[in-house]
Chains A and B, each alone.
Chain A
Amino acid sequence: MLTRASVALRACSAARGARALAAAAAASPPPPLSPGTAGGEQPPSGAPASAAASPTAADDRMDFPGGSVPFSRSPAWVGGAFSPRAPLPCYRTLDASGREVPGAAVPHPLSREVAVKMYETMVRLQTADTIFYEAQRQGRFSFYMTSSGEEATAIGSAAALSPDDVVFSQYREQGVIMYRGFTLLDMANQCFGNMHEQGRGRQMPIHYGSRALNFHTISSTLTTQLPHAVGAAYALKLDKRDAVAVAYFGDGAASEGDFHAALNFAATLGAPVIFVCRNNGWAISTPATDQYRGDGIAGRGPGYGVATLRVDGGDAIAVYNATAEARRVALEQQAPVLLEAMSYRSGHHSTSDDSSRYRAAEEMRQWRARDPVARFQRWLVDQGWWDDAADAAARQAARREVIQALEAAQKAPKPPLSSMFEDVYAEMPWHLEAQQRQVMAHVAAHPDACPADIPVK
């Protein structure tokens, strides 16, 4: 409700802020009293008698350039150790074992076709994560990151989006791009950095990007994609397109300044962005308890005037419904929406990490018992849409496809040496042409300088 303030298109500057704040104030509960201050209606002891005179209507509120707020007679603190609030609840439709929660709202029921596609993508994602991880351990490529424990967040949200929606991701959302049509061979090509990969071998593994799939190339610097998503939403809004921008990020990334700027910018601009935070509990070795003091990431949304929902990130149906609703709200209200998907990073941060050094085996065991893919599978079986035979066949097919993709991608030639000077600019400037010519002259004079698997041109 708070975001109704940001719905209104920007109008005359004087009215702009005032309207926003008035709307926010109207939708907010009255400010709670500090536990340490008894009786908000009473003037604080020691206050001059004149301060207690009955206020006129004009004295009821503080009007200022940003809006209007009611006066209070007591120094009523809010937040911190004062008036701690109950945490925002977490929406779910399936329990930990995958049984439907009685009475759970499902405004966007899954069709059999979509549900099966979601599950099959999860199977391919799990299989790819397992085998790609092993391939990295074998030294076939330099780096990998699994998304174990967060499959339902990626795929549940991806299924609720339109192909026209513009996606900006962090680095643990390969399920999203897979659901959009990125093949296992595309992934393998990217991890090997070969000549068939869209990024032309310029980024480390898992930095996928596909313009055709409206999935922006991943940057390693955390959270820079959030302002990009706001800019993309601004472009969509100017063009009056029936599409939203979607930005994925983790709980650690939400500590970056870009998170705060992006939410504030999106709210003031009325930009149709869905911010999807994967709160998986760990930023490499830093637990969420060391990352923030408030009510998670969702707790920040209302402060920015952004409609917010916390969802069980391990419940694919809840994530699908939350995202579909977020999309509807973002488009109808032309406003941003924040989703916080509560989940757990079941794997290590990356192939450069050993998480058993900093987190308890029992914690990991408990979360793995609530595996999101198993929960969703249970639900599918309960619907009569899936069975053990189908599961075995799907896993076997995925395994075969992953192995074939890795073999083919490893054999493919690397991008040619000459291409390293391309795409720096729209057209190659003279200084890059000169450097390119020098490199080519060098390898012509010293053929051994260029490894055998890298073509020169």
Chain B
Amino acid sequence: MAAAVGSSAMAAALAQRTPAVGPSGAKAPVRRPCAAVRASQRATVVAGAQKREMMMWEALREGLDEEMERDPTVCLMGEDVGHYGGSYKVSSGLYKKYGEMRLLDTPICENGFMGMGVGAAMTGLRPIVEGMNMGFLLLAFNQISNNCGMLHYTSGGQYKVPMVIRGPGGVGRQLGAEHSQRLESYFQSIPGVQLVAVSTVANAKALLKSAIRSDNPIIFFEHVLLYNVKGEVHAGDFCQSLERAEIVREGTDVTIFCYSRMRYVVMQAVAELEKQGYNPEVVDLISLKPFDMETISKSIKKTRRAIIVEECMKTGGIGASLSAVIHESLFNELDHEVLRLSSQDVPTSYAYELEAATIVQPEKVVQAVHKVCGARGLVSA
């Protein structure tokens, strides 16, 4: 079954995909118990005026606020999300506006509040479950895999589980092994869940809004080092497709695929590569499941070379499955085998130098481009 997907088959599949979500909003509203209230609330959504600059945590908070305002079935639950406002301030102050019931502080038990989210989602709510750290969500893996991902299927489509599981992941600054996990691939193989990794202020807000409106369970990866990144948010009630990659930089020599914080590592490398006369294309995957094969294949057909830069582990990582699908479906389009730059297959160390050596640094990206494209410009082979 997992045999090669022919590119023509894939093109046909892609052609039937739902169109990207634009500023006008996501899917048609689904009637649920509180639909009457929601319809009236929807009218209160006011388009914002200008693009505004803020930090990522503020953008996430604004997206959450807007969705809670337009839909009274949206609620947030987890540890310290109410009065405390979330460990990374994403729900800061919102309990004053929406009350403690919708910003629900729960006791500490990840599998417990994850299960509660699943039950609430099947009973008409759109819960967002915050993991204080993505690593801790391994304690909720049973609910995520056996229940959240499966119940829509095993119930024969009777029960949808429209929930968002979000929180900080990735390698931070000297947080030790358990707080510095790269778990994307753990979740990638679970049938029924969709994976999204945000990277900028604009996409964090716009993707969170779409994730909340989606009828699928979405695992929404924020990065612990990106909450204070500054940038502009889109004006108005802007949603972004959960299934689309972003072209960060157009180029012709090689496509560098990345996601989450690695986007910044790659762009640091690109600044150096530009000086050396290279013109790489950079694609932020955004959707880690399913991959946006339309954007991926278009880019590879143009550049004929691919490098994947990820924070995930090399063995069984996101890059492993992406490179497999590229080799299976685009083999004849490639002039070079796909290169993967991943974290080492070790737990993340606390010691700064070891931690830095565990994850991909910009120099590695520069070297990989040299390898794939050949030396040129200022660089000697």
Contact = CB atoms under 8 A, between A and B. Distances in A.
B115 A230 contact: yes
A335 interface: no
B159 A227 contact: no
Interface stretch (B1-9, B169-177, B253-261, B303-311): B1-9
B317 interface: no
Nearest to A422: B157
A233 B154 CA distance: 22
B125 A235 contact: yes
A303 to B, nearest CB: 14
Contacts of B151: 216-217, 219
Contact of B160 (A197, A268, A426): A426
Nearest to B102: A238
Nearest to B215: A426
Interface stretch (A128-136, A154-162, A322-330, A430-438): A430-438
A424 B16 contact: no
A209 B158 CA distance: 9
Contacts of A431: 5, 13, 290-291
Which of B3, B124, B155, B214 has most A Cβ within 10 Å? B155
A99 interface: no
Given A219-B150, A239-B33, A438-B3, A232 B119 contact: yes
A434 B115 contact: no
B379 interface: no
Contacts of B243: 429
Given A227-B111, A235-B124, A264-B107, A202 B154 contact: yes
Interface in A1-59: 9-11, 13
A418 interface: no
Interface residues of A, number: 61
Interface string B95-138: 00000111011110101111111111111110100000000000
B194 interface: yes
Interface residues of B, number: 66
A200 B119 CA distance: 21
A102 B75 CA distance: 51
B123 A224 contact: no
Contacts of A230: 112, 115-116, 119
B158 A231 contact: no
Contacts of A241: 33
B327 interface: no
B156 A231 contact: no
Given A262-B115, A431-B290, A216 B152 contact: no
A224 B147 contact: yes
B14 interface: yes
A231 B123 contact: yes
B17 A237 contact: no
Given A219-B147, A227-B112, A437 B122 contact: no
B120 A235 contact: yes
Interface string A409-447: 000000000000011111101110111011100000000
A217 to B, nearest CB: 4
Given A231-B116, A426-B214, A210 B158 contact: yes
Contacts of A200: 156-157
Interface in A360-413: none
Which of A10, A227, A239, A422 has most B Cβ within 10 Å? A227
Nearest to A264: B107
B142 interface: yes
Given A221-B147, A426-B214, A437-B13, A228 B118 contact: yes
B191 interface: yes
B121 to A, nearest CB: 7
Contact of A228 (B18, B107, B119, B215): B119
B107 A258 contact: no
B153 interface: yes
B120 to A, nearest CB: 4
A424 B101 contact: no
Interface string A197-227: 1111011000101110000110101001011
Contacts of B9: 434, 437-438
B118 A227 contact: yes
A235 B290 CA distance: 30
A224 B152 contact: no
Given A199-B156, A219-B151, A227-B118, A430 B13 contact: yes
Contact of B106 (A203, A239, A265): A265
Contact of A211 (B14, B18, B121, B155): B155
Contact of A265 (B2, B109, B146): B109
A216 B156 CA distance: 11
Given A227-B118, A430-B293, A435-B1, A199 B106 contact: no
A337 interface: no
Given A265-B109, A424-B192, A228 B158 contact: no
A282 to B, nearest CB: 24
Which of A203, A230, A238 has most B Cβ within 10 Å? A238
Interface of A: 9-11, 13, 166, 168, 197-200, 202-203, 207, 209-211, 216-217, 219, 221, 224, 226-239, 241, 245, 257-258, 260-262, 264-265, 268-269, 422-427, 429-431, 433-435, 437-439
Q: Which 6 A-B pairs have the closest CB atoms?
A: A227-B115, A231-B119, A261-B112, A228-B119, A231-B120, A200-B156
